[in-house]
Amino acid sequence: MKDPRNLTIATLCVSATILATVLVLMQLSGGSPVYADSPSVAGDYILITGAVSRTDDMLYIIDRTAMKMNAYYVDRSHRITLRDQADLRQLFRKR
């Protein structure tokens, strides 16, 4: 191990092994996380994005004056499709 090339090769092998182990453990940890972005407010509307999967997203638009929310699905080809609508007054009414 007196040759500096051997030490470099050994260090690179150990680093590659550690990185490969971390990669495998991350893949095996399971579950697909859902990420939400910060809301954007424009007048009477609030826009929020959220990840459904690694490749697909949802766009939520809340109309504050009408108290309604629309959920739009955004797929890989950037097509936007209305998925659901909700009346926020009914969802959050006092019981």
Give tens-digit pLDDT for 23-75.
887 777 665 555 556 677 778 899 888 888 777 788 899 999 999 999 999 87
Are 46 and 74 within one domain?
yes
3-class DSSP assignment, residue 10:
helix
CA distance 69 to 86: 5
Are 59 and 86 within one domain?
yes
CA distance 66 to 39: 18
CA distance 26 to 77: 27
The pLDDT score that the predictor gives to residue 34 is 53
Domain presence at residue 9 = yes
The pLDDT score that the predictor gives to residue 40 is 76
The pLDDT score that the predictor gives to residue 30 is 63
DSSP state of 38: P
Domain presence at residue 78 = yes
The pLDDT score that the predictor gives to residue 38 is 67
**CATH number of the structural domain spanning residue 78:** 2.20.25
Q: List the domain range (segments joined by +) for residue 66.
A: 40-91
Find the DSSP H helices in 3-61.
Answer: 4-28
The pLDDT score that the predictor gives to residue 82 is 92
Are 26 and 44 within one domain?
no
The pLDDT score that the predictor gives to residue 95 is 65
